[in-house]
Structure 1
């Protein structure tokens, strides 16, 4: 179990840091940076990793039962749509509230969804894990409040675009629900993929590479459609041509590697954590990523103008999330 927790923490650490290189791209609009990142993360890296690291890669894919494969494809496609909806939610209700609602939904629903595949654990284990998830959610709410207070301190409106608060909340929560397809895809597809991968003589961790191949490629279709539409609508295709293209490719490539390795590490952590691994691993993974992202914001000066009230709410949120992860881990050890 300890090895699984370490892998889940490492995965969350990488996910929390993966977006940092975006700060160093130049002459790119938001759509250019993230379109290039997603193209590398969802199409280039999965193929390179699959064919380079997996023995009998194509045979393993062919060995996945049709039901499990389609379950992975559909849920992963929905994950891709959910990720895009989060961006739309921010236009309605702002980054802090949108992020809190989206991540809160992912942690709550995504951590419970694997129970549909794996079955419910013993009552004492289930209750302990649920208590831990509730504590984590309290932390997420506190962090969302801290973000709203910080924006007020800095004189920025929380609502940054057009649209009603009710619409933004619905988009954030519904997007979070769809994004939990990532958790379901891992839970439903991993057993068959693992069996086929081991039969081909691969190490245990290689299974995660194949799982992420199906998830990223399927989700990437939805994401690519969205960015093609946005780049065309806003006339941003020509903006890819810049003297800084090499730098931007390096930054987005680094983002893509961190993001992909984080996801693969989570899948391996879920395996090493045992029967409740998909639930426990998902909670630790996402909670750690949020905590790391917030801490990186503190270290880079994002909170230097925030009031003591905003910082207090932020610290309470961090403590609650860490405590919740500890409780979830304890529940998995019972």
Structure 2
């Protein structure tokens, strides 16, 4: 039951992450930086402490009692992840929701899943899988198979993107908009590598989650692991993410004189504010449910792979729903659909792996 519940929680988190950019696409007459930083205030500053307070009332005492080195590393990984999140928005902007998310999150999935395991190979820690687990244990081998299958699905999504570019460049009936494969792929690679730092941040801040978990278990004995233990760790990680994004967006707001967006009477201000708040809150929900899924599956490669795979799946599904592939050739459409199907298969394989432990 724990495996099923964990997969379900990761699906909900993946749905939230794969859907968060959709409200942004409805924002009118605002620059990218205006809507991104406003949504980010909800993602990184407003919603996380509210969620922590509702689930861990003494969360601030846990933070104050944590060693400064743990807080520092957790914050640092948040800063690096923030750069990945910042460039994620640009990658989606230039590649579209489906293709941009596939490439960025695919790279993040691979690095986020394997790098901690390599670290634990050289620094053995009870309860943590090192890289040899994925080549010697039946469950670990199955996880690796699922990861490889997912990479194939990501490759097909990327291939579909390149075919799409050819289709659009040769068509006079399709508007390309901001689609730019060259610039988008560069940004996507940087974003994918740095986005993996969120998982590193969770690892660095695990002592805070352990305190929250132990306090809850003392009051609720024999009831398993605390579903919301990571909510205290997220606060520090997201402070780091906010720092990066705030500095960049402030620079763009000043450079482009975008502050005027917030008083632009031609723009639907109320609607834009609500859409940004919805987008930001939805983005945070991915972390909220990731923590719940992790409490059932463990903070390891399986949780990270499932989370990323679900996000890629939902992002590509939104790409189809939003008609980002409208007007492309049949081979291009078959490639993106095949990629989606194979990613679904990889999710099933990784979910099955947890039953073998």
TM-score by length of 1: 0.88
CA contact (8 A) 1:60 1:197 kept: no
Q: State the distance in 1 between where 2:19 and 2:99 align.
A: 20
Q: What corresponds to 1:70 in structure 2?
A: 72
| Per-residue deviation, residues 194-248 of structure 1 (Å, max 9, x unmatched) | 3245426598233232122111112111111111111111111111113422111
Q: What corresponds to 2:172 in structure 1?
A: none
Q: Does 1:204 align with 2:226?
A: yes
Cα-Cα RMSD: 2.7
- Name which of 266, 269, 275 aligns with 1:251: 275
Q: State the distance in 1 between where 2:88 and 2:20 align.
A: 17
Distance 1:127 1:52, change over 3 A: closer
Question: Displacement, 1:139?
Answer: 0.6
Q: What corresponds to 2:129 in structure 1?
A: 119
Question: Displacement, 1:303?
Answer: 2.3
Structure 2: 5+ residue stretches without partners: 121-127, 170-174
Question: Displacement, 1:327?
Answer: 1.5
Correspondences of 1:4-83 after superposition (within 5 Å): 4-83=6-85
Q: What corresponds to 2:188 in structure 1?
A: 172
Q: Does 1:185 align with 2:209?
A: no
Q: State the distance in 1 between where 2:229 and 2:277 align.
A: 23
Distance 1:293 1:94, change over 3 A: closer
CA contact (8 A) 2:78 2:238 kept: yes
Question: Displacement, 1:10?
Answer: 1.2
Question: Displacement, 1:170?
Answer: 5.6
CA contact (8 A) 1:15 1:289 kept: yes
Deviates more, 1:112-121 or 1:71-80: 112-121
Q: State the distance in 1 between where 2:163 and 2:59 align.
A: 50
Deviates more, 1:94-103 or 1:146-155: 94-103
Distance 1:197 1:58, change over 3 A: farther
Question: Displacement, 1:87?
Answer: 4.9
Distance 1:53 1:222, change over 3 A: same
Q: Does 1:148 align with 2:162?
A: yes
Q: State the distance in 1 between where 2:352 and 2:343 align.
A: 14
Distance 1:131 1:69, change over 3 A: same
Deviates more, 1:168-177 or 1:279-288: 168-177
TM-score by length of 2: 0.83
Question: Displacement, 1:311?
Answer: 0.9
